[in-house]
Structure 1
Amino acid sequence: MQSKVELAKVRDFGEIINDTFLFLKQNIKPLLKYFFIFCGIFVIAGVISASMYQLKVTNTMNSISNGTYNNMEYKPSFFSFIGPELFMTSTFAFLSVITIEVTILSYIALYKEKDKAVPTTEEMWGYIKYYYLKILGSSILLHLLLVIGFVFCIIPGLYLAPIFALVLPIMIIENTSFSYAFNRCFFLIKENWWATFGVMVVVWIIFSVCRGIIVLPTSILNIISLITHPNKAVLSVPGAVITAGVQQLSLVFLMIPIVALSLCYFNLTESKDGTSLMDKISKLGTTTPDTDLPAEEY
C-alpha cells in the first residue's frame, strides 16, 4: 500500500507536481465531499446568476439582430450587457473561489495537524467559519495590490503574483495575521522565486486544460447553435442552466493549484526553517516511529 503524502518536506519542481496529484488521488473522496458541503451553496447561486445573465445577453443580441432596438420601449446598448445579473455572477464566482480556497487549505492544515488523518466535518466547519472573513478581506486587498502592480508595466504584477499566492496558505496553516503572512511570504520566497513561479505556471496550465475539457462540449453546442441560426442567438433556459452548471462545477479543478501552492509553502518552510526535522528530533524517545517513513528517516 502506498504511504500517505508527507506534507512538510523539501521537494524539487518535479516532486511538487507529482505529490500534488498523489495527494489529490489519496484524498479525493473527502475533498469532493467537503467541496459540495461547504462550496455547494455558492456553486448553486453562481449557476442561477450565470444562467440569468446568459439569457439576458441572448435576448439582447436577438433584439439587436432583429431590429427591435429601434423601438422606443427598448434600446439596447453596451450597458444592456451589464446590470445586476452580471454583478451577481461576478460576486458569486469570486465567493466560490474564496470558499474553495478556504476549504482546501483548511483540509490541508487539519490533515497535517492530525498526522495525515482525514478531518471531520465539524473540524472543517470550525476552521472555515474562523478563517473565512479573514481570507475574504485579505484576498480583496491582495487582488487590489496585484491590479496596481499590473498597471505599472505588468512586470511588478508578475513578480508579486507567486509571492502573494503564499499569503493565504501561511495565514491558515500557521494561523497568523495578514500582516505577518504578508511579510513572511517575502522571506520564504527569497532565492526561490523562479521555482515557485514555474510551479504556478504549470499548475494553472493544467487547471485551464482540465476546465477547458469539461466546458468544451457546451461551447461546441453553442457554436453549432450560432451556425445553424446565424440571424438569431438561441439559448433555452435548460441550455443556460447546463452551460452555467458545467462552468461552475469545473471550479473543482482549483484543487490542483491550491494543493500545489501548499506544497510549495511546505517546501519553502522546510528549506528555510526545517520545522519538520526539529519536530522529529523533539519527539525522539517520546513516540513510536512513523511506520510510513522510510527506515533511514528515523
Structure 2
Amino acid sequence: MNNNYIEFKKKRELGEILTDVFAFIRTNFKPLFTVLFKTTGVVLVVLLLSIAYYTYASSSIMDPFTLGGNPEIFNSGALIISALIMLISILLFYGLVFGTVLHYIKSYVDNDGVINQTTIVDGVKKDLGSIIGLSILSTIMLVVGLMLCFIPGIYLYVPLSLIYPILIFKKSAVFDCISESFELVKNEWWITFATLLVIGILSYIISMVFSIPAIMYTFFKTFTAASEGTFSDPSSIYDWVFIVLNTIASVLQYIIIYLFTAISSAFIYFNLNERKHHTGTLEQIDSLGKSE
C-alpha cells in the first residue's frame, strides 16, 4: 500500500473533505497530471487554439469602426465558428478531465494507492461518450431549472454533481445515474451544497491567480493609451500579448476548476455512500474476517 494512501470509503465532515482534497492533489500531483496529459493532450491543444482564435475574432467587437462601417467579421461567421469550436473543445476537455480524474481515483481505491495507467486510459475511452451525454442532459436540466425561478436550478445542481462518480464507480446506466444521485443526497442536501459551494469558491479564487498577468497587461495598455490620447481604438488593447496571456489563463482556470470539482465530487460521493450504505465499513469487517 502507498504510504501516503488516503482512504476514500469513509464518513467525512466538510472540513475533512477540504483537507483531503488538497492532500490528494499534493500527493498525486505528478502521476495524476501525467495521465491527464496523455488523455487530454490533443484536445488541450485544440482548446488553446480555439480560445486564442475566439479572443482574436471577438476583439473586433471593441473596434467602433469595424462595427459601424465594416461588419465583415459577422458576415463571415468567424466569431460564430470560433465560438462553436471553443464550446465543443470545452465540452470534450470537461469530459476527459472528469473521466481521467475519476478513473484515476477508481484505480487508486481498487489498488490501495497504486494506479494502473493503462486501465485508466481504457476506462476514459470507454466512458467518454456517457460522460458527455450526461453533461448535455444535466446542463439541459439545470438550464430549465434556472429558468423556473432560479431556485430549482440550484436544487438540481447538488444531486447532478454526483452523476459522474456514480457512472464511474458504480457502472450505472446513464439515466440510472440521475435517479441514484437524487437518492444519494436525500436528507444530505444542505451539507452537500455547502461542500460544493466552498470547493467552488476556493477553486475559483485559486484559478483567478492565473488571470493576474492578463489583467495587469490590460490595465497597463489602457493606462498608456489614455495618457497618450490614443484610446480611440479600444481593440488595440487586445494584441497578441493579451491573446497569449488570456488563452493560457483561461485554460489553466478550466484545469483547476474541473480538477477540484472532479476530486471533490469523488470524496462527496464516497462520504454519502458510506453514510447511506456503510460500504467501506462492511469491506473492512469482511477483510478482518478473512485475515483471521
The CA deviation at 1:113 is 1.1
Q: Which residue of 2 aligns with 1:198?
A: 194
* % identity of equivalent residues: 24
Task: Identify which of 106, 109, 114 aligns with 1:109.
Answer: 106
Q: Which residue of 1 aligns with 2:228?
A: none
Task: Identify which of 278, 283, 288 aligns with 1:284.
Answer: 288
Say yes or no: does 1:250 pair with 2:253. Answer: yes
* CA root-mean-square deviation: 2.2
Matched residue type, 1:261: S
- Give yes or no for contact 1:35–1:252 (8 Å, CA) kept in 2: no
What TM-score do the two structures reach when normalised by structure 2?
0.89
- Give yes or no for contact 2:52–2:244 (8 Å, CA) kept in 1: yes
Q: Which residue of 1 aligns with 2:126?
A: 130
Tell me the alpha carbon deviations over residues 243-289 of structure 1, each in whole angstroms, 9 at most, x when there is no partner.
2122112322122122112111101111110111111222224348x
Distance 1:238 1:220 in 2: 12
Task: Identify which of 155, 162, 167 aligns with 1:171.
Answer: 167
Q: Which residue of 2 aligns with 1:55?
A: 56
Tell me the alpha carbon deviations over residues 139-172 of structure 1, each in whole angstroms, 9 at most, x when there is no partner.
1001101100000000100111011001111110
Matches within 5 A, 1:49-198: 49-62=50-63, 64=64, 67=65, 69=67, 71=69, 74=71, 82-117=79-114, 119-198=115-194
Structure richer in helix, relative to its length: 2
Distance 2:269 2:281 in 1: 16
- Give yes or no for contact 1:51–1:244 (8 Å, CA) kept in 2: yes
**How many pairs are equivalent?**
283
Matched residue type, 2:196: M
Tell me the alpha carbon deviations over residues 73-92 of structure 1, each in whole angstroms, 9 at most, x when there is no partner.
64666997841011111221
Say yes or no: does 1:42 pair with 2:43. Answer: yes
Indicate the SS of the match to 2:290.
Answer: coil
Q: Unmatched 5+ residue regions in structure 1?
A: 289-298
- Give yes or no for contact 1:51–1:237 (8 Å, CA) kept in 2: no
Distance 1:128 1:18 in 2: 27
The CA deviation at 1:68 is 5.3
The CA deviation at 1:223 is 2.9
Tell me whether 265-274 or 248-257 shows the greater mean CA deviation.
248-257
Rate the CA distance shift 1:26–1:69 in 2: closer, same or farther, 3 A: closer
The CA deviation at 1:212 is 0.5
- Give yes or no for contact 1:49–1:88 (8 Å, CA) kept in 2: yes
Distance 2:71 2:273 in 1: 60
Indicate the SS of the match to 2:187.
Answer: coil
Q: Which residue of 2 aligns with 1:275?
A: 279
Distance 1:25 1:144 in 2: 35
Distance 1:144 1:92 in 2: 18
Q: Unmatched 5+ residue regions in structure 2?
A: 226-230
